[in-house]
């Protein structure tokens, strides 16, 4: 291929990408919605960004590390849903707009006065902090630019910011908010950091290896290249993957890119774009990325080939599911084109020297394997013996594989052996049923028993479960090491700013830490003078907060807090408080 042909290919690629992005933007109104904030939008997270077990469904707008910024309705509409949760979105509000879209505002500190009063009344009526409300259509109309809330850090937020989404009203499918004309300063091209090349089988080679080979990528913008390599020697059926991220002006965050395209010579073999996706397909991210690489090294390499049971809708143009077969003796030009939503473009170009395939009959054996069963991705699968039963519904996996099972001796506090289910580097899409026999479990401890997963440091992660007919059964979603333990220890209650006979004349809040070491907090109830009080639960910080209201009276008050874990272990704290 000469330089003129290469220039033509690059020009065509740029034209194709720009045309696709323009087409996406033309689908959506560009001047209908305003910004949800009144300051320049800087992002700590982009739409479709790669997160643990899911794609990010909105944009994260920085609030300068502070809470309490005004949040505005982006257009006329009405509040259709209000949700308060100790985790997830925390305090969130949903607004339906007449043009067919819903806007979502999450991790809020509090709602505006009218909505806040309504929500607190419902919480007291139901005696619940975590609550979900669906107001009547005309209950809370809003106008464009109306203050609806204050920004916060509630739920599973890792720092003060606004999580913002735009969804289709009919389908609830989230759409990239930046396609609606919300202004973000971004003149910075994406970065490409790693190339990984995957042989399909033992007959395929990458630089003489039948295992995946990783290459460091250096450069910037249009000039990315593989460090120390001009040409890769390839033979057979091959897949590619890259590690890439986007940068924006005035922020240091490594955000998600919008689209990736892979050309082999002049042929587009693979492309995807993050215009929209449905929530029920978000977990397919574990097939979209190199899951083993992520688990081992916390590096997210985006695979540019598609597993047989990957049902993501984000793929645009695919040949042979992204797999490329090199079976000649020619040179081939490989071009990656990576874009952000603002059309900033980066490229990685490299050359492949193709070789004729070599047949290999190599079979790898591992002496640690105890038993082996072939699991097919498109059918139900099961495994059982006298000690354990496992059932996987159909479509639990992204590809077929040989399921490996083994056992090891019980841990000190265990009531079963430790069961090794395959390995933690193979993702599972659906929850599967796991039943473990508990021969040595005394009858009086059956209600306290739980299945736990052991992580790399042998820390226990509860997976719950119920005991019946000699087995404890739970629904789990990961391979790894499992065993049975019991939880007989009640949660710990740690007062932060009060104690018995404390004088709290000028206090605005009462703060209490609640901590459980194993099965997790299931229930808590705070009362003041035997009347329920609203204690907001920040699960990530194990913190309960009571904002002092009319439930407390002048003089002596009796505060009481009950906390129960998932195995029914109860703790009670009481204090007499002077107010």
Q: What is the CATH number of the domain that holds 235?
A: 2.70.50
Domain end point (choices 135, 162, 180): 180
**Per the domain annotation, does 28 fall within a domain?**
no
Between CA 11 and CA 6 the distance in angstroms is: 9
pLDDT tens sequence across 189-245: 999 999 999 999 999 999 999 999 999 999 999 999 999 988 999 999 999 999 999
The CATH number covering residue 546 comes to 2.60.40.1220
Q: Is residue 27 part of a domain?
A: no
Residues 31, 34, 38, 43, CA torsion sign: negative
Distances (CA, A) of 8 to 3, 38, 336, 358, 500: 9, 44, 15, 34, 79
In a domain, 25, yes or no: no
Has residue 364 been placed in a domain? no
Q: What is the pLDDT of residue 241?
A: 98
Do 464 and 548 lie in a common domain? Answer: no
pLDDT in tens, 483-538: 999 999 999 999 999 999 999 999 999 999 999 999 999 999 999 999 999 999 99
Q: Is residue 22 part of a domain?
A: no
CATH number assigned to the domain comprising residue 477: 2.60.220.30
In a shared domain, residues 477 and 507: no
Q: What is the largest CA-CA distance in the chain?
A: 91
**What's the pLDDT band for 456 if we cut at 50, 70, 90?**
confident
**Hey, which residues does 175 pair with through a beta bridge?**
166, 276
- Domain tally for the chain? 4
Same domain as 109, residue 48: yes
Residue 361: how many CB atoms within 10 A of its CB?
A: 6
Whole-angstrom distance, CA of residue 153 vs CA of residue 91: 9
Contact 216, 226 (CB under 8 A): yes
Q: Where are the beta strands (DSSP E) in 422-566?
A: 432-437, 449-454, 460-464, 466-468, 471-476, 480-486, 492-495, 502-503, 509-515, 521-528, 531-532, 535-538, 543-547, 556-565
444 Cβ partners below 8 Å, 6+ apart?
A: none
Instruction: Please tell me whether residues 110 and 173 are part of one structural domain.
Output: yes
Average pLDDT over all residues of the chain? 93
Residues 211 and 349 in one domain: yes
Q: Specify which residues 407 forms β-bridges with.
A: 419
pLDDT at 358: 62
Burial of 106 (0-12, 13-18, 19+ CB in 10 A): buried
72 close to 38: Cβ distance less than 8 angstroms: yes
Do residues 299 and 415 both lie within one domain?
Answer: no
The Cα–Cα gap between 273 and 317 comes to 10
Task: Provide the residue range defining the domain that includes 133.
Answer: 43-180
CA–CA distance, 259 with 241 (Å, rounded to integer): 13
Task: List phi, psi (to 5°) of 225.
Answer: -150, 165
More confident residue, 370 or 282: 282
197 strand-pairing partners: 213, 240
Judge whether residue 365 has pLDDT over 80: no
33 within a domain of the structure (yes/no): no
Whether residue 9 is found in the same domain as residue 120: no
Long-range contacts of 313-317 (CB under 8 A, 24+ apart): 313/277, 313/278, 313/281, 314/48, 314/272, 314/273, 314/274, 314/275, 314/277, 315/270, 315/271, 315/272, 316/20, 316/259, 316/271, 316/272, 316/273, 317/261, 317/268, 317/270, 317/271
Assign residue 64 the CATH number of its domain.
2.70.70.10
CA distance 229 to 204: 20
Lowest mean pLDDT among 12-26, 40-54, 327-341: 12-26
> Given this model, what pLDDT does residue 108 score?
98
Q: What local confidence, expressed as pLDDT, does residue 363 receive?
A: 39
**395-437 tens-digit pLDDT:** 999 999 999 999 999 999 999 999 999 999 999 999 999 999 9
Q: Are 199 and 326 in contact (CB under 8 A)?
A: no
> What tokens appear for 111 in the block?
């709602």
For residue 426, being part of any structural domain is answered with: yes
Q: Are 150 and 226 found together in one domain?
A: no
521 and 481, same structural domain? Answer: no
Q: What pLDDT sits at residue 23?
A: 54
Q: What is the pLDDT of residue 25?
A: 54
- 203 and 159 within one domain: no
Distance of alpha carbon 128 from alpha carbon 398, whole angstroms: 40
Locus of tokens 């794609």: 55
> Which residues are registered as beta bridge partners of 82?
93, 133
* C-alpha pair distances (Å), 577 with each of 494, 544, 556: 16, 17, 6
Total number of residues shown for the chain: 579
In a domain, 160, yes or no: yes
Local structure of residue 408 (DSSP, 8 states) = E
Q: Parallel, antiparallel, or unpaired for β 471-476 and 480-486?
A: unpaired
Residues 244-268 have pLDDT tens digits of 999 999 999 999 999 999 999 989 9
Q: Which of 486, 511, 541 is the last residue of a domain?
A: 486
Q: Give residue 359's pLDDT band: very low, low, confident or very high (50, 70, 90).
A: low
* Dist. CA 572–CA 352, nearest whole Å: 68
Exposure of 229 by Cβ count < 10 A (0-12 exposed, 13-18 middle, 19+ buried)?
Answer: middle
Among 321, 355, 389, give the residue marking a domain's end.
355
101 beta partners: 168
- Which letter does DSSP use for residue 551 in this model? T
* Structure tokens given for 567: 């195995």
Closest by CA position to 55, among listed 273, 241, 321, 346: 273
Residues 348 and 377 in one domain: no
pLDDT at 229: 87
The pair of three-digit structure tokens given for residue 577, joined into one six-digit string: 């408080």
412 and 291 co-located in one domain:
no
């Amino acid at each position: 291929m000469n330089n003129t042909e290469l220039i033509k290919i690059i020009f065509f690629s740029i034209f194709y990408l720009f045309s696709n992005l323009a087409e996406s933007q033309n689908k959506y109104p560009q001047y209908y919605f305003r910004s949800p904030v009144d300051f320049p939008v800087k992002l700590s997270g982009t739409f479709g960004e790669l997160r643990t077990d899911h794609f990010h469904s909105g944009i994260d707008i920085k609030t300068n590390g502070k809470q309490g910024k005004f949040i505005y309705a982006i257009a006329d509409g009405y509040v259709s849903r209000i949700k308060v949760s100790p985790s997830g979105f925390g305090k969130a509000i949903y607004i339906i707009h007449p043009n067919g879209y819903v806007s979502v505002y999450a991790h809020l500190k509090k709602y505006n006065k009218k909505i806040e009063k309504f929500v607190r009344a419902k919480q007291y009526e139901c005696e619940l902090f975590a609550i979900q409300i669906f107001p009547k259509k005309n209950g809370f109309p809003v106008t464009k630019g109306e203050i609806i809330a204050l920004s916060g850090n509630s739920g599973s937020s890792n720092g003060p910011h606004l999580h913002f989404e735009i969804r289709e009203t009919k389908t609830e499918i989230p759409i990239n908010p930046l396609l609606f004309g919300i202004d973000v300063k971004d003149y910075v091209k994406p970065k490409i950091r790693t190339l990984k090349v995957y042989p399909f089988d033992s007959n395929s080679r990458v630089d003489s290896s039948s295992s995946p080979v990783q290459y460091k990528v250096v450069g910037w913008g249009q000039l990315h290249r593989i460090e120390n390599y001009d040409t890769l020697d390839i033979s057979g059926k091959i897949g590619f993957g890259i590690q890439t991220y986007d940068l924006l002006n005035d922020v240091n965050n490594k955000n998600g890119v919008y689209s990736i395209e892979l050309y082999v010579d002049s042929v587009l073999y693979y492309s995807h774009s993050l215009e929209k996706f449905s929530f029920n397909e978000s977990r397919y991210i574990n097939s979209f990325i190199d899951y083993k690489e992520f688990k081992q090294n916390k590096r997210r390499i985006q695979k540019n080939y598609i597993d047989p049971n990957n049902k993501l809708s984000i793929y645009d143009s695919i040949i042979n599911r992204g797999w490329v077969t090199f079976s000649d003796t020619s040179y081939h030009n490989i071009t990656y084109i990576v874009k952000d939503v603002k059309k900033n473009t980066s490229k990685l170009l490299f050359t492949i020297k193709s070789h004729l395939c070599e047949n290999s009959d190599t079979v790898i054996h591992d002496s640690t394997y105890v038993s082996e069963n072939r699991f097919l991705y498109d059918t139900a699968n099961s495994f059982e013996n006298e000690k354990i039963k496992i059932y996987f519904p159909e479509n639990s996996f992204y590809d077929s594989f040989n399921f490996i099972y083994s056992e090891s001796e019980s841990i000190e506090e265990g009531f079963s052996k430790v069961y090794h289910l395959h390995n933690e580097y193979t993702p599972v899409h659906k929850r599967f049923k796991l039943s473990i026999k508990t021969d040595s479990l005394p009858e009086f401890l059956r209600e306290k028993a739980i299945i736990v997963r052991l992580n790399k440091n042998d820390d226990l992660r509860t997976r719950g479960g119920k005991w019946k007919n000699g087995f404890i059964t739970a629904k789990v979603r990961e391979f790894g090491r499992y065993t049975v333990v019991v939880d007989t220890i009640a949660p710990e209650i740690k007062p932060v700013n009060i104690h018995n006979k404390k004088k709290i004349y000028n206090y605005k809040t009462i703060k209490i830490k609640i901590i459980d070491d194993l099965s997790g907090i299931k229930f808590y109830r705070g009362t003041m003078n035997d009347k329920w009080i609203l204690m907001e639960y920040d699960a990530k910080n194990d913190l309960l907060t009571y904002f002092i209201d009319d439930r407390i009276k002048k003089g002596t008050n009796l505060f009481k807090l009950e906390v129960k874990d998932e195995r029914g272990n109860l703790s009670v704290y009481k204090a007499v408080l002077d107010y």
